[in-house]
Amino acid sequence: MRSQVSVTFKDTPPIRLELEPEQALEREAARQWLDTQFTEMECEPLRATGKLLMADRVVVVAQAAGPAKFADAAWAHAFAQAASSVLGKQVINVDADALTITY
């Protein structure tokens, strides 16, 4: 089944990324990719407790990446693969400015 990941930033059109089933990542590989991006972009946990859920990680990485990083088609595709895999949902909508995800 196809997956769709949509990322929105203020004052820009939504970025829609479509994935075919054969493009799926294994969950552990997706988690590692997000962990690497989180560290490389020097992201901070959303919660004061420091606990970081996978959904939090996805939205924080999207926010840190910004529209410029999503302009890189290979990076955007890897993000979509990782988000779809770790969240286990077919349709994911990330609002990077509001730091929210809907399914």
Q: Which tokens sit at 79? A: 């993000």
Each residue's pLDDT tens digit, 6-64 = 999 999 999 999 999 888 889 999 999 999 999 999 998 887 776 779 999 999 999 99
Nearest of 21, 28, 60 to residue 42 by alpha carbon = 60
Check residue 50 and give its pLDDT: 67
pLDDT band at 92 (very low <50, low <70, confident <90, very high): very high
